Amino acid sequence: MAKTPDDIIRDDIRALSAYHVPASAGMVKLDAMENPYSLPADLQVAIAARIKAAALNRYPDPSAAELKQRLRTVMNIPVGVELVLGNGSDELIQMLALAVAKPGAVMLGVEPSFVMFRMIAGFAGLRFVGVPLTADFSLDADALLDAIRTQQPALVFIAYPNNPTGNLFDADVIARVIAAAPGIVVVDEAYHAFAGASFMPRLAEFPNLLVMRTLSKLGLAGLRLGLLAGRSDWLNHIDKLRLPYNINVLTQCVAVEVLQHEDVLNAQAATIRSERTRVLAALQKLRGVTVFPSDANFILFRVAEAGRVFDGLKQRGILIKNLHGSHPMLADCLRVTVGTPDENARFLEVLTTLC
Ligand SMILES: *Cc1c(COP(=O)(O)O)cnc(C)c1O
């Protein structure tokens, strides 16, 4: 007797709703922390030449040696630190979760934070423990240290800066968390380019620290490339879970080319940071809008009725992210990605008519 999907698929998977990506064709797209700029024409030509020469009939270099070397330079990876690459950092989160998923094992994070931590914990069969942030979205040191003592998490994730709140947590509290944690602590630095703070130089200080980065928010979201840096005694095991050719030929050759022009990415990040300052100041002037400080390429703000403002923006062709309903602390909160000066001006102009 044949079984139905309801018989075969895990209950927890059937209960999930699929990750919803809204249609964005023709919209001013300020919902996904993408870099709004394309690459300069001469770099596009150099990329095209690399793609033309790429051996698509061959499997990629499984160790991605040239790409790793480039990343070491561009990301200032300390000497002696090991690297594992992922098809986006989401894949690295998944590899880490699978690696520690003994029966009863715990992944600990803070809330609100990046939703994929909790999601992937579920996929891997880990119990997720979310420790609430304080009302101003900073780390609650006592609650965190308490949860670490009682839950003994195999894996802790801290986004630095945090998504969706945009702030950098207190580095001293993070250091105390790393020192107190019995297992791995991953500091997720997806927004490093906009922050000017990092745990990368402190890897030698903490044997259980791993630092995660991605090229996605830096202007290469379409390539899907993330990296995990840390001690080989952890990463040698994580690497066994990596599917053999997870970084494809095109991602490798395009990333190698673009990373030879890190000045281009750095200049774009600098423009985004100065636009962030401008948009933040403009939002602060709007009555009925509460703005939260940001060290990332997006800004979290609260309005009287998030749903109405979100819909109003959407009707006028501007797509941002409505966080209302995703967590009690994010009631009536919206998140806007910093775009080009034109996109930001358009966003602010329409928002002004709605607040
Ligand atoms: C966007 C984001 C990621 C995922 O990045 P990819 O490399 O595109 O998978 C990871 N962590 C945080 C906190 C993010 O906001």
Q: Which among 217, 295, 335 is the best mutation to test ligand 1's pocket, defined by most ligand atoms within 8 Å of the CB? A: 217
Report the pLDDT value the prediction gives residue 107, as an integer from 0 to 100.
98
90 pocket-lining for ligand 1 (C-beta < 6 Å): yes
| Interatomic CA distance for residues 252 and 257, integer angstroms | 9
103 C-alpha to ligand 1 centroid (Å): 27
Count Cα atoms within 13 angstroms, Cβ side, for 279. 33
159 pocket-lining for ligand 1 (C-beta < 6 Å): yes
Report the pLDDT value the prediction gives residue 18, as an integer from 0 to 100.
75
Q: What is the pLDDT of residues 78-113, one digit of tens each?
A: 999 999 999 999 999 999 999 999 999 999 999 999
Q: Find residue 227's DSSP bridge partners.
A: 85, 213
Q: What are phi and psi of 152, to 5 degrees?
A: 45, 60
pLDDT tier for residue 21 given thresholds of 50, 70 and 90: confident
- Give the contacts of 22 (CB within 8 A, at least 6 positions apart): 31, 319
Largest CA distance in the chain: 66
Task: Give percent of the chain above pLDDT 70.
Answer: 100
226 pocket-lining for ligand 1 (C-beta < 6 Å): yes
219 pocket-lining for ligand 1 (C-beta < 6 Å): no
3 C-alpha to ligand 1 centroid (Å): 37
218 C-alpha to ligand 1 centroid (Å): 11
Q: What is the pLDDT of residues 266-320, one digit of tens each?
A: 999 999 999 999 999 999 999 999 999 999 999 999 999 999 999 999 999 999 9
pLDDT value at 322 more than 80: yes
265 pocket-lining for ligand 1 (C-beta < 6 Å): no
Which residue segments constitute the domains of the chain, with CATH numbers given? 8-37+263-354 (3.90.1150.10), 55-260 (3.40.640.10)
Question: Which letter does DSSP use for residue 39 in this model?
Answer: -
113 pocket-lining for ligand 1 (C-beta < 6 Å): no
pLDDT tier for residue 20 given thresholds of 50, 70 and 90: confident
Q: What is the pLDDT of residues 340-352, one digit of tens each?
A: 999 999 999 999 9
Q: What is the pLDDT of residues 29-46, one digit of tens each?
A: 999 999 999 999 999 999
**Sequential DSSP letters for 231-267:** -HHHHHHHHHTS-TT-S-HHHHHHHHHHHTTHHHHHH
pLDDT value at 23 more than 90: no
- Whether the model clears a pTM of 0.75, i.e. scores above it, the answer is yes
Q: Counting atoms of ligand 1 from 1, which one is nearest the CA of 93? A: 10
Could you tell me the two tokens for 141? 């040191």
Q: What is the pLDDT of residues 142-189, one digit of tens each?
A: 999 999 999 999 999 999 999 999 999 999 999 999 999 999 999 999
pLDDT value at 1 more than 90: no
Report the pLDDT value the prediction gives residue 17, as an integer from 0 to 100.
83
94 pocket-lining for ligand 1 (C-beta < 6 Å): no
Q: What are phi and psi of 77, to 5 degrees?
A: -75, 125
Q: Among residues 106, 114, 108, 151, which one has the least CA distance to residue 131?
A: 108
